[in-house]
Structure 1
């Protein structure tokens, strides 16, 4: 089988034997895998969790079960599945002994055939294509947990999302699915119509409106947002806090970027509300199953920017192309 492995600063194609599933394992013919920002950080050697040398990259992928090892009961041959971002974190709170991740400390999904523990797999919603299913385990789940993992968002609540990355676009779609009002900030107003088509009620041009937290308050009659999904961290956290309602929440997804290794909130912003900052790091298998149930019930379609058959081209486009939506690699076993 064709398998790709991390050999910094690139990924390298390898020809390897197809593995056989052991007890509790399933062998999955991978049809599609999707890129996330963490995959670039792993390739660059800057991801906080040290990657195993020569690991198979990518946490996200979907495929068909082609063999099952002894004792497997959750899935059978022919089932459509995706892998979990945290294979050992099935429910409850994340604990230090559960922090292994595919594409980092464990082999990932950029391979024609992948071994998964049956407890690490989740059924794919029937209406999704392979490419669409491959986008869910990281970005979509992060958006889902940002929306559902804190204070309950009632229909009519206001959610703010930042930019047009994968998590942000899923947050727009899922917030609308939950009946929320959605405000999006972006530097690309040429995307405004596409954002509104996904469910945004208002789109703010943040370079033209650097004090966009004030604009959020204007759009909400002075109340502020019930939830801000902050995908930028150091560059936006002060405005996110300013945009939050008195008892609102800010879901914090990253805490550093290329320009800063800290989050800084001015006293004026901090004193402006009693908002809660809630750290989000993707989610567990039970939450992924909950997401998939919602996606299936509403027949939600993920936004895909482009699909590739050449993984190197996909990586280049993801790094340099400013994609609107997910970048997917389609794998076709010989």
Structure 2
């Protein structure tokens, strides 16, 4: 069994309610049975990471912790009894390490980078069941974007949303979940409408396959053009990343019996809601919190079959994590922001 070793980690230190990001040395204990040590190649950032560090997320622990949930790396060593992996295998982390299949349970709702330390380190340890093989056609930077944003979009659009030919899916903004939702909806044969505050970003979404775009800065009541673009019928599915601030417009935009997959709260968590829109539209509303390993593996099969590549907007050295977080906060990058750990 491999012995102890040293690594480096990005660490969020919380003092008097304020959090700061530091680089620290960490000890890597010997592997227990059924554990795997992974040398990190790339880590992708999510808006959830900003919410964690800023204290907007209720999941942020009061102690110092290693952030981030999304990594691609190479298996460095395996503990006794490991059968799923061998040294040299390329793997991705699992956002909820205990969520293997079925519905999310209170026992499996313990994500990386919160209740437990995350993958923002040169090497991380995981149970063998908590890893997924990285798709062979993707680079490490691309594969690192899959555990949270891609799997959330897959759950919202394909697993829960059941997008299909002839359906219309509306995605909000140009963040990671929305970009993956666009790709998966087009893969399924659906039409896609996109919203953004930027005409330039809408052009980029059209280049990626969006069938129509709505500038919500020009049209704050963007449900009206969405209805117009669907001949008054409404969309079949909204992938709701805005939260309370956009939820009412989403309700107005869906067709009778349409669905809303609620995956985020970028525009806020609490707003008054007119419930008449819910029963009046016979709306189907479902909260989506990433997904299981079973969903991840199904998504990867589709990525390989359709040769889909994630949209990576910027790659920075992992030592520049602070600058990467600032770029994510500004929202001026279309595509995922990824930290490169220098593993060839």
Q: Which residue of 1 aligns with 2:155?
A: 145
Aligned residues of 1:52 and 1:104 also touching (Cα < 8 A) = no
Determine the C-alpha separation between the residues in 1 that align with 2:151 and 2:282: 27
Determine the C-alpha separation between the residues in 2 that align with 1:208 and 1:227: 22
Q: Which residue of 2 aligns with 1:295?
A: 303
Say which SS state the counterpart of residue 247 (structure 1) adopts. Answer: strand
1:268 deviates by: 5.4
Aligned residues of 2:155 and 2:161 also touching (Cα < 8 A) = no
Structure 2 unaligned blocks of 5 or more: 1-6
The list of structure 1 runs, each at least 4 consecutive aligned residues, that deviate by more than 4 angstroms after superposition, is none
Per-residue displacement from partner, 1:261-283 (whole Å, max 9, x unpaired)?
42433255335411111111111
Say which SS state the counterpart of residue 162 (structure 2) adopts. Answer: coil
Indicate which of 31, 40, 44 corresponds to 2:41: 31
Indicate which of 116, 119, 130 corresponds to 2:129: 119
Determine the C-alpha separation between the residues in 2 that align with 1:151 and 1:2: 40
Q: How does 1:207-218 map to 2 (within 5 A)?
A: 207-218=217-228
Aligned residues of 2:66 and 2:118 also touching (Cα < 8 A) = yes
Determine the C-alpha separation between the residues in 1 that align with 2:326 and 2:201: 22
Say which SS state the counterpart of residue 107 (structure 2) adopts. Answer: helix
Per-residue displacement from partner, 1:259-318 (whole Å, max 9, x unpaired)?
x54243325533541111111111111111111111111111111111111212212221
Q: How does 1:318-329 map to 2 (within 5 A)?
A: 318-329=328-339
Q: Which residue of 2 aligns with 1:281?
A: 289
Q: How does 1:309-320 map to 2 (within 5 A)?
A: 309=317, 310-320=320-330
Per-residue displacement from partner, 1:5-41 (whole Å, max 9, x unpaired)?
1113221111234443211111101000011111111
1:69 deviates by: 0.4
Please state if 1:264 is matched with 2:272. Answer: yes
Size of the aligned set, in residue pairs, is 332
Determine the C-alpha separation between the residues in 2 that align with 1:305 and 1:141: 18
Per-residue displacement from partner, 1:82-101 (whole Å, max 9, x unpaired)?
01100001111111111111
Instruction: Please tell me the root mean square deviation across aligned C-alpha atoms, in Å.
Output: 1.7
State the TM-score, normalized to the length of structure 2.
0.92
State the TM-score, normalized to the length of structure 1.
0.95
Determine the C-alpha separation between the residues in 2 that align with 1:37 and 1:151: 22
Determine the C-alpha separation between the residues in 2 that align with 1:331 and 1:212: 41
